[in-house]
């Protein structure tokens, strides 16, 4: 094969490769151009709108409150225990029972004391008969006055012995010091009790006390007679009234100790419970409230999304096929006050009357297009009472 033939063959191969590369490049260019065109169309169309629920930020008049954590205590509450040692011979109550004042709870073995009492009463009766005879004889002058004095002294001594044994027998019986509800029984029949052994706990029924503390800066605002609200885990349990305020402030915590009396007719409050206390002050304040679901919490601050009209000429559709307009969600950073029920007060960032996103705010960002859908609308309440299911 001649050199000229080989060169021609190489040229044909190179030309073929260049043609193939050109064809592939043209195909790829067409694909890229198509993608660029689609991107421009999507950019012009904008992101699809998100469906959200909305509520109107409302101006409300709220009572000013002071929040604290309190502890429930019974108006009367004692640990029932025995005063003297002895063996339990009778138990007169059941755990959790309601008892009247004076009811016998526990009796200790008192056989020896009862036998001693019988003998003491016999000595007293004998001394009483001797003293009676001595009074008659002394009136007749048949015996000296010293004899009558000795007999009267003997009667007094035997009578004191009887009373001492009766008191000792009474100490063998443990009674309820007041009417109330018995706690869990701590002793058993036949058990030997040392003095001061815990028998049970007795709490009065009806009203309870709630003790709590407030910082010294609130001293001027608190006085007896102010109403309080008692809640646990966000659910209000009862309302009461401040009945006592300590005259001095604790030197360690610089807090003021306060006691409120709270009706407990439904027995929702038990001694020892920790509860949330809100002292309701007489003055009221104007606040802008939104549902708690409208708040977006983030490390850099709390915010809400307010609904605005879509600016003319902005990318994307302006209405859905069913005619609902597409709006814009603008993020507003806010300062919040203490929540009350399902509502949160906004002290800065949003004014009353603005429409805020209350459902679906977690999926938005500043400037997101949205469409309002309130067909399934939540109903926030100041005093929510969810049902147990």
Which of residues 39 and 7 earns the better pLDDT score?
7
Name the phi and psi angles at 28, rounded to 5: -65, -40
Give the span between the Cα atoms of 269 and 275, in whole angstroms.
9
Indicate left, alpha or beta for 309 from its phi (over 0: left) and psi (-120 to 50: alpha).
beta
CB-CB contact of 114 with 169 (8 Å): yes
Which of 7-11, 64-68, 164-168, 316-320 has the weakest average pLDDT? Answer: 7-11
Please name the helix (run of DSSP H) or strand (run of DSSP E) that holds residue 212, with its range, or none.
strand 208-215
386 Cβ contact list (under 8 Å, min separation 6)? none
Mean pLDDT of the chain: 85
Prediction pTM value: 0.56
Which of 119-128, 249-258, 307-316, 327-336 has the weakest average pLDDT? Answer: 307-316
CA of residue 57 relative to chain centroid, distance: 28
Determine whether 40 is exposed, middle or buried from the number of CB atoms within 10 Å of its CB (0-12, 13-18, 19+).
exposed
Residue 42 pLDDT > 80: no
Helices (H), the chain: 3-45, 111-140, 145-171
Residue 260 pLDDT > 90: yes
Which of residues 313 and 363 earns the better pLDDT score?
363
Q: pLDDT digits over 190-210, tens only?
A: 999 999 999 999 888 888 899
Residue 43 pLDDT > 60: no
Give CA angle at 369 (367, 370), nearest 5°: 125
pLDDT at residue 106, as a whole number: 93
| Rounded mean pLDDT, 66-86 | 89
């Amino acid at each position: 094969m001649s050199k000229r033939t080989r060169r021609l063959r190489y040229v044909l191969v190179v030309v073929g490769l260049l043609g193939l590369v050109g064809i592939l490049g043209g195909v790829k260019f067409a694909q890229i151009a198509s993608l660029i065109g689609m991107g421009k169309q999507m950019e012009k169309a904008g992101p699809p709108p998100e469906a959200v629920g909305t509520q109107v930020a409302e101006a409300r008049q709220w009572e000013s409150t002071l929040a604290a954590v309190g502890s429930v205590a019974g108006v009367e509450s004692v640990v029932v225990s025995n005063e003297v040692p002895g063996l339990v011979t009778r138990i007169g109550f059941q755990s959790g029972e309601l008892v009247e004042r004076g009811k016998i709870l526990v009796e200790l073995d008192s056989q020896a004391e009862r036998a001693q009492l019988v003998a003491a009463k016999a000595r007293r009766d004998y001394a009483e008969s001797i003293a009676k005879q001595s009074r008659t004889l002394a009136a007749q002058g048949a015996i000296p006055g010293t004899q009558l004095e000795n007999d009267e002294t003997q009667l007094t001594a035997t009578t004191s012995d009887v009373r001492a044994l009766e008191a000792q027998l009474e100490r063998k019986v443990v009674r309820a010091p007041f009417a109330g509800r018995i706690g869990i029984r701590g002793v058993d029949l036949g058990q030997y009790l040392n003095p001061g052994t815990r028998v049970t706990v007795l709490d009065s029924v009806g009203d309870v006390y709630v003790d709590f503390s407030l910082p010294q800066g609130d001293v001027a605002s608190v006085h007896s007679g102010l109403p309080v609200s008692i809640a646990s885990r966000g659910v209000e349990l009862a309302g009461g009234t401040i009945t006592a305020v300590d005259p001095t402030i604790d030197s360690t915590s610089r807090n003021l100790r306060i006691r409120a009396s709270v009706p407990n007719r439904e027995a929702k409050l038990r001694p020892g419970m920790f509860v949330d206390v809100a002292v309701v002050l007489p003055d009221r304040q104007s606040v802008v409230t939104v549902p708690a679901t409208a708040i977006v919490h983030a490390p850099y601050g709390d915010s809400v999304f307010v609904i605005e009209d879509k600016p003319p000429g902005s990318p994307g559709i302006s209405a859905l096929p069913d005619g609902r307009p597409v709006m814009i969600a603008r993020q507003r950073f806010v300062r919040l006050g203490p929540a009350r029920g399902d509502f949160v007060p906004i002290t800065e960032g949003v004014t009353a009357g603005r429409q805020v996103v209350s459902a679906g705010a977690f999926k938005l960002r500043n400037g997101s297009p949205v469409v309002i859908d309130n067909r399934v609308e939540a109903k926030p309440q100041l005093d929510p009472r969810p049902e147990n299911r």
